[in-house]
Amino acid sequence: MNKTRRIVSPLAWVPSLYFAMGLPFVVLNMVSAVMFKDLGIQDAQIAFWTSLIMWPWTIKFLWSPFLELFRTKKFFVVATQLLSGVMFGLGALALHLPSFFAVTIAVFAVVAFSGATHDIAADGVYMSELSTRDQAKYIGWQGAFYNLAKLVATGGLVWFAGWLYERSSAEGVASFDAYVHAWTVVLAILCVLLVVMGLYHVKMLPSGGAAAEKHTLREGLQGLREVIVAFFAKKHIWYYIAFIILYRLGEGFVMKIVPLFLKADTAVGGLGLSNQQIGLYYGTFGAGAFLLGSLLAGYYIAARGLRRTLFTLCCIFNIPFVVYALLAFFQPASMWFVGGGIVLEYFGYGFGFVGLTLFMMQQVAPGKHQMAHYAFASGIMNLSVMLTGAVSGYLSDWLGYRIFFLVVMLATIPAFVMTRLIPFTYPDEKK
């Protein structure tokens, strides 16, 4: 079995692994906002509840040490992919209930826990199976397919939901019922995708190392304490925590608001796009930019080293958010302007995000508790995104889209300062 594991190319499992990682996070964090908007839920409720259910990605470090005790990392990857798939199937059924919003939020909360657990194990496999140099080499593939999941969900599936709605409406189905039907099909597709990928990874995914020998709950709790103490004892850790939070601060504000801004009527400052248009812009114009940015960033970092490229990556990640401020001020009707802006922003997202991912892997995570410490670091990162997302709806309602997106640009400034000052603990390997 070990012999088979060694000859499997990372390209046989890294892309599919991170595509499966991206789907639950993106659907819960972004696509669900469009779905609930279609189903008549208020914006404030959408922003609050779809942010609140993201908590597992923030606190996942609390159970990450236990994953190392009982089974292999591969076991948890496969199990959570299957569980998330089944829960999306239940979510499809929940849309037909009278209290669909509360029930669907509860189902999505289970998906969030499953997805966060999947992330811990998947990152553990990646770091355990690949050398430091190979981590940099394949980080572009990792980022590309994580972002491809974002495009499939926010582009293809949102477009498909709009297409199904239009078809049902043309047949005389009431608007609400047409949306329920459309989103039922979309959640069923997510169910099938994740179950299929879980079955695929039974065969193709390496184990990520054997489980630890100790098996008691007490030892697990002691392990958790050890993980937390060791994390905060790391050199420069407070600098690193501040850097992780600030790097994605601007993105955290815009993540929930952008789809609502694109759908909002032009009379209230939005662009008045349909689901099909949003899906088309993300899925067609954004797809190439996303993948190209992620892949180029991986090879760019591998060639020049993370230390020399980190500030450039931060700039490319954050500056393109100005696109939404320009779209809010000018409200262009041309698909070329809107699509071009989305291309620029998503290229920057794909290119810049891999820098933060690799920084956490190579400067924050290394040590005895590599998998748990990476989960801790990514949890802190998601806390920043979750908290800013939770208040973003109230802030945009108060300020209006134009001023809101200008405030977002101001929120990116600390990231540039911190990136210039950040020290490196471990050698930046480049060959």
The first and second tokens of residue 371, run together, are 């998998």
pLDDT at 284: 63
CB of 71 closer than 8 Å to CB of 112: no
Residue 399 amino acid letter? L
pLDDT at 195: 97
Structural Rg of the chain based on CA atoms:
21
> Could you tell me what percentage of the chain is helix, strand and coil, using 3-state DSSP and rounding each to the nearest 5?
85, 0, 15
The first and second tokens of residue 42, run together, are 């208020």
The first and second tokens of residue 394, run together, are 């109230």
Q: How many C-alpha atoms does 301 have within 13 Å on its Cβ side?
A: 35
Phi-psi region of 345 (alpha: psi -120 to 50; beta: other; left: phi over 0): alpha
pLDDT at 417: 93
Helices (H), 130-248: 132-151, 158-170, 175-204, 217-232, 237-247
CB of 114 closer than 8 Å to CB of 20: no
Mean pLDDT by 10 residues, the chain (431 residues): 57 92 91 91 84 86 73 90 97 95 96 93 85 77 80 86 92 91 97 96 81 60 79 90 91 85 86 83 70 83 88 92 92 85 87 88 83 81 84 88 93 92 78 43
pLDDT at 410: 93
Query: How far is it, in rounded angstroms, from Cα 370 to Cα 227?
Result: 9
pLDDT at 215: 57
pLDDT at 210: 58
Closest CA to 87 of 64, 103, 98, 75: 103
